[in-house]
């Protein structure tokens, strides 16, 4: 069965909605693929067990009291407090989590004010937390909240904090991983075990229902200028990679004896 899924980028993710609609009924295993510009065209990457992280989101607003930039003593400057929060949040990972564990806090949006000489009433930020461990996930959320509480007491601000848990980590079934690896090798494609990746993918929801394996097909080609990272405005794919992804899927079906079952 082929699944044409919507909404991978928008939580709760199309995989959950597709599964709840019954797309995995009668299915034994599931395989997924993502083209990846960071790897050369013609290469296949996967790994057994954990492969991709859980991508959480957070939204924060800090509310102070605005005023003239020439009279900061008459204001409660939310920009300075937001700056302090962003810098202090980095210490949650570097100073409160075991260094051999994996965790990332990144800020993707910071907004405040509209004039150079006016201190605004509020400042806003959005960002992402990436982890493989639910205990670390809970710890980061707790420490972010405690940091905001401390800043509120110290600076007389108020705040809004929204933390949205993302998809589960992609965790490949070992037998599915072996099938992917053998498929690539049988096709004489260059296969490598991938590193742990802090990106997220809602394919993980399928894996809570059925054994599954996810793999990456390289689509980076310097001659075709397709080495730019995903989400870059210059991102593009080497379309030659499509045949390698498709041939790997077909070989997986062969190794899973799907064609023999159809003949029977």
Q: Give yes or no: residues 24 and 73 share one domain.
A: no
Residue 264 has pLDDT above 80, yes or no: no
Tokens of 58: 């957070």
Pick the more confident residue, 259 or 45: 45
Establish if 1 belongs to a structural domain.
no
Q: Give yes or no: residues 124 and 158 share one domain.
A: yes
pLDDT at 91: 96
Q: Give yes or no: residues 257 and 128 share one domain.
A: no
Of how many residues is the chain composed? 264
pLDDT at 178: 98
Taking the alpha carbons of 66, 71, 76, 77 in that order, is the dihedral positive or negative?
A: positive
Establish if 32 belongs to a structural domain.
yes
Q: Give yes or no: residues 23 and 77 share one domain.
A: no
Residue 191 has pLDDT above 90, yes or no: yes
pLDDT at 173: 98
Average of pLDDT values for 112-141? 97
Establish if 255 belongs to a structural domain.
yes
For 26-39, the pLDDT digits (tens) are 999 999 999 999 99
Domain count, the chain: 2
Q: Give yes or no: residues 37 and 58 share one domain.
A: no
Residue 261 has pLDDT above 80, yes or no: no
pLDDT at 13: 87
Q: Give yes or no: residues 26 and 75 share one domain.
A: no
Average of pLDDT values for 229-253? 96
Residue 263 has pLDDT above 80, yes or no: no
Q: Range of 26's domain?
A: 14-53+169-263
Query: Buried b / exposed e across 96-127, counting CB within 10 Å, b at 16+?
Result: ebeeeebbebebeeeebbeeeeebbbbbbbeb
Spatial distance between the Cα atoms of 77 and 120, rounded to a whole number of angstroms: 7
SS3 state of residue 72: helix
Establish if 177 belongs to a structural domain.
yes
For 242-257, the pLDDT digits (tens) are 999 999 999 999 999 9
> What does pTM read for this prediction?
0.89
Q: Give yes or no: residues 79 and 127 share one domain.
A: yes
Q: Give yes or no: residues 138 and 220 share one domain.
A: no
Residue 158 has pLDDT above 70, yes or no: yes
pLDDT at 8: 83
Confidence at 262, pLDDT banded by 50, 70, 90: low
SS3 state of residue 140: helix
Spatial distance between the Cα atoms of 239 and 246, rounded to a whole number of angstroms: 12
Query: Which among 133, 164, 195 is the end of a domain?
Result: 164
Q: Give yes or no: residues 30 and 127 share one domain.
A: no
Confidence at 12, pLDDT banded by 50, 70, 90: confident
Query: Which among 164, 193, 222 is the end of a domain?
Result: 164
Q: Give yes or no: residues 42 and 101 share one domain.
A: no
CATH assignment at residue 20 = 3.40.630.10
Q: Give yes or no: residues 141 and 236 share one domain.
A: no
Query: Which among 164, 187, 222 is the end of a domain?
Result: 164
Contact of 78 with 120, CB cutoff 8 Å: yes
Spatial distance between the Cα atoms of 135 and 14, rounded to a whole number of angstroms: 26
Contact of 105 with 93, CB cutoff 8 Å: yes
Q: Give yes or no: residues 146 and 245 share one domain.
A: no
Establish if 9 belongs to a structural domain.
no
SS3 state of residue 131: strand
CATH assignment at residue 94 = 3.30.70.360
Confidence at 101, pLDDT banded by 50, 70, 90: very high
């Amino acid at each position: 069965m082929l699944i044409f899924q919507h909404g991978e980028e928008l939580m709760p993710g199309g995989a959950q909605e597709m599964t709840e609609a019954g797309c995995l009924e009668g299915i034994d295993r599931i395989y997924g693929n993502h083209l990846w510009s960071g790897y050369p065209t013609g290469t296949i990457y996967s790994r057994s067990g954990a492969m991709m992280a859980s991508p959480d989101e957070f939204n924060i607003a800090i509310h102070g009291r605005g005023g003239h930039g020439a009279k900061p003593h008459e204001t409660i400057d939310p920009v300075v407090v937001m700056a302090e929060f962003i810098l202090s949040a980095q210490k949650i990972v570097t100073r409160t989590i075991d260094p051999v564990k994996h965790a990332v806090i990144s800020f993707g949006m910071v907004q405040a004010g509209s004039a150079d000489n006016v201190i605004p009433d509020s400042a806003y930020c959005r960002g992402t937390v990436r982890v493989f461990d639910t205990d670390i996930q809970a710890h980061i959320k707790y420490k972010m909240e405690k940091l905001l509480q401390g800043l509120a007491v110290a600076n007389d601000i108020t705040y809004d904090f929204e933390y949205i848990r993302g998809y589960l980590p992609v965790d490949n079934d070992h037998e599915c991983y072996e099938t992917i690896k053998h498929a690539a090798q049988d096709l004489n494609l260059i296969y490598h075990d991938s590193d742990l990746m802090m990106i997220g993918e809602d394919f993980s929801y399928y894996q809570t229902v059925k054994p599954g394996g996810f793999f990456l097909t390289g689509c980076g080609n310097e001659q075709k200028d397709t080495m730019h990272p995903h989400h870059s405005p210059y991102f593009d794919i080497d379309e030659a990679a499509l045949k390698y992804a498709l041939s790997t899927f077909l070989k997986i079906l062969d190794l899973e004896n799907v064609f023999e079952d159809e003949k029977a």
